[in-house]
Structure 1
């Protein structure tokens, strides 16, 4: 897929759209795209993420295979 060509096609199509709901949908999408997910989460969630990163920096991690073995009984086959 040529992304530049696709963008141009969208621009051409959007230039001819007369339906306000379609334009409103694009404006909503644009505003959501500019939002950073970090700004949308709670301070508690941020603290938990930062603690997890600090644990990883200290080498306090569990290998993926070990986690999968521990929770294998709940995994779908």
Structure 2
């Protein structure tokens, strides 16, 4: 059975589930298995992101509107 057929079969079985605790367990499994792109970043990349977030919190940024005005002559 190929992957697509297995997914379809799983969906059919999932529709029949009536126990909420089973659904909660499945949701946890799916969340744990999703790729978390942030965890895959290097420490320096995470530090750069944090710097940007800190600057934004302090209001140290240029609005999208201002950037678009500045670069409109090239667009």
How does the TM-score come out when normalised to structure 1? 0.48
